[in-house]
Every structure is written in C-alpha cells, then in structure tokens.
Structure 1
Amino acid sequence: MISLVPVRLEDGSGNILWQNPTPSSTNYCRPIGFEFTKETSESIKLENNAINEEIRELIPTIIGNLEIHHNLYMTMIDGKVATVISNTSSAARESLTPPSKMNDLDFVSKRPLRVDMYQYGLSSLHMWIRCMECILHISYNMDFKKWTARNSDKLLRDVKKNMTQEEFRERTGLVIDVVKQGFDTTNDGNTARRFFMDYELSAEITGINEDLIKRFAIILQAVSSGLQINLSNFREFCKETAILYVNLYPWYYMPSSVHKLLIHGADICGQYSFIPIASLSEEASEARNKYFRNVRLAHIRKIGRTQTNLDIIHNFLISSDPYITHKRPNFVRQQKQLMPEVNDLIMNRGSLSSESEETLENVDPNVQP
C-alpha cells in the first residue's frame, strides 16, 4: 500500500494557510496505489525508485494566479523499508554500528553518522512497539542475562515469557507478544501505549527498572504529541536514558530502533524542525491497511478482480477526498493527558499559531485545499 498525506500549505513568507488537523488519520490519506505482492527488498526498491521518479517530475500546480510548489518527504515507512531503501546491510546495523557495539556509547559517539537516514523520520508508531518489545525481551532473558538464548537458556526464556504473558492477560487484559496468524504478533500501537502508560504495573510484571520504563514513556509521548520538540532538553533526556539503559542492562544490546530514538532522535527532529515530527508519522498509512481489509470484505462487488479493485480505489478516493473531508463537521476530541515531565521536552501546546488560525478561518470554503 502506497499513500500520500497532505500536511501543510504555506505562503511564500512561511505563514500557514492550511494545516491537516488529523495527519495520523485516514481522512486525508490519499492512495497512490496498492499491489498484491510480498514485501521483499526487490519490490520495495522498485516502488521507491518509481515514487522518487514521480517526485522529480512534479511540476507546480497552477490555480488562477497562484502557483503551488510541492515538497514531499518519505516518512510514512517502518524500519524494514528504511533499511532496504537506505541500502543498510541489516536492520540491526543502524547507523553503521554492529549490534555488539550498540551499548558502547563512547564508540557510538565517534562513529560516522548516517545523516541520510534522518530523512525517513522516526516512525513514531513503530517506536512504541519496538520499545515495548525491547523491555519484554530484556525481561525474558533476565534469568541468564545474555542477549540471545541458546541451549538450556531457551527453556528459561520460554518459561519467563509464558509467565509474563499470563500475568499481563490476567492483570491488564493485554495479549502481549503472541504470534497472530497472518499479522506477525499481537503487539500493536494501542497495546504498547497501555503498556507504557501504566509503567508501574509493567515494571512490576516484567521486573524491569521502573524509572527506565517511565523514561521511555515520556520520550514516546513527546515525539507523538503533535507538538514541536525542545531539542536541547530532548537530547539531554535521551542521553540520560541511554546511559541508564546501558548501566542497568549492559548484556542486552540496544535494538537499532531504540538506538535510533535515544541517540539520533533529537537530530532527526531537528531535521524536520519546521513541523512536529508526529505529523510525519506512518500511523495514517497503517490505519489505511485496516480500512483496506474492511472495505474489501464488506463494501465492494465480488464479481471479478477488475471490479473489486475499482471499488476499492473508489472507496479510498472518496473517503480521503480533501474537499469532502474539509466539509465534514469538526469533532472535538478529548486531548490526551501528557505526563508532567513531557512538558519539559516540548516547545508549545498548540500546533497552529493564533495568526495561522485566523488565516485558516478566512480561507474560502468553496476552494479545495
């Protein structure tokens, strides 16, 4: 599934004329195409090359006396896709660092940076899941304190994993780290958010340091808040968290996704300093996959593949049409309560300035944004 989400429309002076109020929703998630094929390295590279070629051939959009230029960023991807299109040999070797050196912070600080990787954003939705899985895997290996389980350690790991899964199911109702046929595992964004929001209980069940889990929750809330990041405070907080991680669990090599968040997270946010990093999340694209399954099951003609695919793409185009979405009533959603410590890592509490809001009110509703 390949999608595009319009995020912001600015004038030549940088004033915001329109901004997507729900960049993580499917409302403005426009389909570029979908293909029934396995997500292999070859297919990913082919699609990436095709999209980049289309981006290079883009010309400004002319509406009356207005000329609109387009800036596109490939951030609605997960770690696997970023690894493939950046020609990294392995997902575990993010930023040229082998897994065995991930916990050597002095070594990491002296290694050359892959600044070209910053253009792919943080993948904030998958960061929740990967950080939760990191905590869980440390917990599973606590009895033998090794990065990988071999020989008799495998039995100890399986026993601890089963105990942890049962306790989470009984005490929280969460089904954690269970293989789900056709969908990898039951670990998803909602499960990870609940895991970190109740960090005291998660620490009690897993046996992992409570302060470490809380720090992960604070960092993840900050990058998902939809607000600008205070880079200096965020960098320092992430550095302290990385030091705490290494001091507590030096035997478990930091996963590449956690390394990316703690070591390079501030630099990636700085790369997109003109917009909150959460507005470039892959969440809309992931939600579109679920919408795809629902549409294909209940809202299409099942009389032939051509008719089936036509109905799917028509449903996508209608549900994400900017003008139709712009006309929909604005539902006031309850703003999620941020942890008090998150306020030190963000710049402000609003995504639009008052001046920009006034500009938005003056936009002609009959003109498609």
Structure 2
Amino acid sequence: MDKIVNPQTERILVNRLFLTGGHVQVDIVRSLFDTKMAGLLDGAGGASCHLCTASDEEIKSIDWVRSGFTINRLISDAGQLFDDVNEDHFLKLPSKQRLGITHKPTSDINIIAASPLHAYLCVFWWYMLLIYHLDAGHKVWSPSDDKVNASMRRIRAILLVKCSFSVDIPSSQGGTSTTGNIARNCFLDKRDFLKWATSSINLSDKLLLEKIQTYLSVVLRLVNSGNLINCSKMEELCKETYEYILVQFPWANVTPSLHKLLSHSFKIIGEYNNGRGLQNLSEECLEACNKFVRRIGKILPEKQHSLTMYEIF
C-alpha cells in the first residue's frame, strides 16, 4: 500500500491498495479548492485573503510587504468567533474586527487553497484592468468608470483583430471569454500582445507595464510548474514585484489573488508542496466540470448560492 500526504489537508491518503478479499472502506478527502469553494468552507467571504488575516490597508503597505505575510487564518479561530457571540450580533461587527468572516465555517480543516490556474486568470484580469485605467488616463481605481469601460471595449476589439485573443468578453454561461491559455500567452507576449494592448499608452507607463508583465509571468510560471523551486529566490522576486507595483501604481487596487500570488505562493510551495511548483494542485480538472455543476445547480430546490454549492459538494 502506497500512501501520500496531501499538502492541503495534511491527511494521509491511500494511493494504491491491493486486496485479496474482504470489505473496503474508502474515505474521500477534499484536496483541491478554487477560491469560491475555499470561501464557502472557511467562512471568510469578506476577507482580503483566505490565507492570512491582513486587512485591505495592510496588503497595500510596503512595510508589511517587506516583513512578509504569515499564513495564519485558522478554521478553529473562525469557529470560535461565532461561538463566542450571537451570530446576528457577530455579523454586525466591522469586517476588520471579525477578520472578514461572513458565515460559520463548514469545514474543520484549514484551507490552503493553491489555485494555480485561477492565479493566472485573476492576475491577468487585474493586469488588464491596469492597462484599461492607464489607457483611459484614469488613475483612480474604478473599473466601472465610463472612460475605463470605453478603453476596455476598444482594447478588447484590437486584441481580437490583431492577436486573435478573445479577452474579457462576457460569457452567457457566466464569467468571461478569457481562458488559462489566453492568459498564459498574453503574459508571454505571444502575437505582440503588449504592443497592441498598450498602443495608446504613453511610453513611460508602457515600460512600467512591460516590467510588471515580465515579473508576473515568471512568478506565474513558477507556481504552475512541477519543478523544484528555489523558494528563497522566489520570495525575493515576489516581494520585489509586489513593492514595485505599490510604488509605481499606488492608486491601483491589490486584489486578493494578486496578494496571494506575491505573498503566499512561495510559502505554499516550500511548506506544503515539498518545494515543487503547484502544477499537481491545478484546478483545471475542476473547471472542466463547471458545466455539470451548473446543470445540477439548476435542478436543486435551494436557490441560495452557498447552500446550493454545499449540496453539490
């Protein structure tokens, strides 16, 4: 019997079992989580990060970036917060005081959600928003601004014609047309992506975007690889990239996915995945099942999203 230790649950799983007879009991242990599932399980639906308890202000602090963020969000702490006070009273507390907890955790296992595929998708979405803002000359983070939306539509059309990349086009099934492969190719600057995406942006901002693209591309490829990683060097690169973004674009929002990539990915690799990239924890297999999940969700009587997801999984 071969056994492996799952890095996210720290439980021993049976990999192969050869039997000559008798009864078999199979325990199915959760091992892969995307961000939505992590939020459902750990109760931190309003948190800036599912791995640490840093606030919105702290994840934009250069001092915090330099000192590093600790993976310190525990399921037991979230459950204890609910047990200590009345639930209705608890939810009326400021988000910072309740550490972003929005509902009682539905799991007793600490969730270390790696989400390497969603790192590509969500960080690419952030990068495109940065391009849209700079193209519009709107240096206040407001994705719904009319000028930003106009730039988005124009750049989207240019990329479709010049690069054959269907980027950020809303899908009838929910989400957008951006796929993992599109995000990878754009970060690798295939088909002169950056040239066309930044064609109307001034040279100084274009150079900043080019450097950020290079840094993020390297970090994302390390995360999505299956190779042994020099985690100390990766930490230096992540912190340098994080600080560079905060210094050059202080008005830009730091999304949870960007924060997670640059603050925690090297720790997950080093401490939870034996120093290897997170290719083995990619949620691409989960994404392939999305259409089936949607079908099941439609026939369930419960309309609330969280309960529907709970019933499915």
Q: If the length of structure 1 is used for normalisation, what is the TM-score?
A: 0.56
Q: 76-85 or 187-196: which moved more?
A: 76-85
Question: Which structure 2 residue ranges, 5 or more long, are not aligned?
Answer: 76-109, 300-313
Deviation at 1:167, TM superposition (A): 1.4
1:169 to 118, 136, 160: 160
Q: Which amino acid aligns with 1:144?
A: H
User: For 1:63-102, what aligned pairs fall within 5 Å after superposition?
Assistant: 63=19, 74-90=30-46, 92-94=48-50, 95-102=52-59
User: For 1:98-117, what aligned pairs fall within 5 Å after superposition?
Assistant: 98-107=55-64, 109=67, 113-114=71-72, 116=74
The structure-2 alpha-carbon separation of the partners of 1:114 and 1:243, relative to structure 1 and needing over 3 Å to count, comes to: same
User: For 1:302-341, what aligned pairs fall within 5 Å after superposition?
Assistant: none
Q: Cα deviations across residues 290-310 of structure 1 (Å, max 9, x unaligned)? A: 6x59xx9xxxxxxxx9xxxxx
Aligned twin of 2:169: 178
Q: Which amino acid aligns with 1:286?
A: E
Deviation at 1:83, TM superposition (A): 1.9
The structure-2 alpha-carbon separation of the partners of 1:162 and 1:227, relative to structure 1 and needing over 3 Å to count, comes to: same
1:140 to 126, 132, 136: 132
Cα distance in 2 for partners of 1:169, 1:186 equals: 11
Deviation at 1:278, TM superposition (A): 1.2
Aligned twin of 2:284: 283
Aligned twin of 1:266: 266
The structure-2 alpha-carbon separation of the partners of 1:9 and 1:240, relative to structure 1 and needing over 3 Å to count, comes to: farther
The structure-2 alpha-carbon separation of the partners of 1:210 and 1:225, relative to structure 1 and needing over 3 Å to count, comes to: same
Deviation at 1:110, TM superposition (A): 7.0
| SS in structure 1 of the partner of residue 288 of structure 2 | helix
Question: Which of 1 and 2 has higher RCO (CA within 8 Å, sep 6+)?
Answer: 1
Question: Which structure 1 residue ranges, 5 or more long, are not aligned?
Answer: 1-7, 15-51, 297-304, 306-369
The structure-2 alpha-carbon separation of the partners of 1:105 and 1:83, relative to structure 1 and needing over 3 Å to count, comes to: farther
Cα distance in 2 for partners of 1:136, 1:64 equals: 57
The structure-2 alpha-carbon separation of the partners of 1:198 and 1:112, relative to structure 1 and needing over 3 Å to count, comes to: closer
Deviation at 1:272, TM superposition (A): 2.2
Cα distance in 2 for partners of 1:239, 1:69 equals: 46
CA contact 1:96–1:114 (8 Å) conserved in 2:
yes
Identity of counterpart residues, as a percentage? 23
Aligned length: 240
Deviation at 1:282, TM superposition (A): 0.9
Aligned twin of 2:255: 255
| SS in structure 1 of the partner of residue 114 of structure 2 | coil
Bigger Rg over Cα: 1
Cα distance in 2 for partners of 1:230, 1:71 equals: 34
Aligned twin of 1:122: 114
Aligned twin of 1:348: none
CA contact 1:74–1:119 (8 Å) conserved in 2:
no
Deviation at 1:218, TM superposition (A): 0.9
Cα distance in 2 for partners of 1:64, 1:135 equals: 55
- Structure 1 runs (4+) deviating above 6 angstroms are 55-58, 68-73
Cα distance in 2 for partners of 1:256, 1:179 equals: 21
Q: Which amino acid aligns with 2:35?
A: G
Q: If the length of structure 2 is used for normalisation, what is the TM-score?
A: 0.65
Aligned twin of 2:231: 231
The structure-2 alpha-carbon separation of the partners of 1:171 and 1:186, relative to structure 1 and needing over 3 Å to count, comes to: same
The structure-2 alpha-carbon separation of the partners of 1:71 and 1:216, relative to structure 1 and needing over 3 Å to count, comes to: farther
The structure-2 alpha-carbon separation of the partners of 1:10 and 1:75, relative to structure 1 and needing over 3 Å to count, comes to: closer
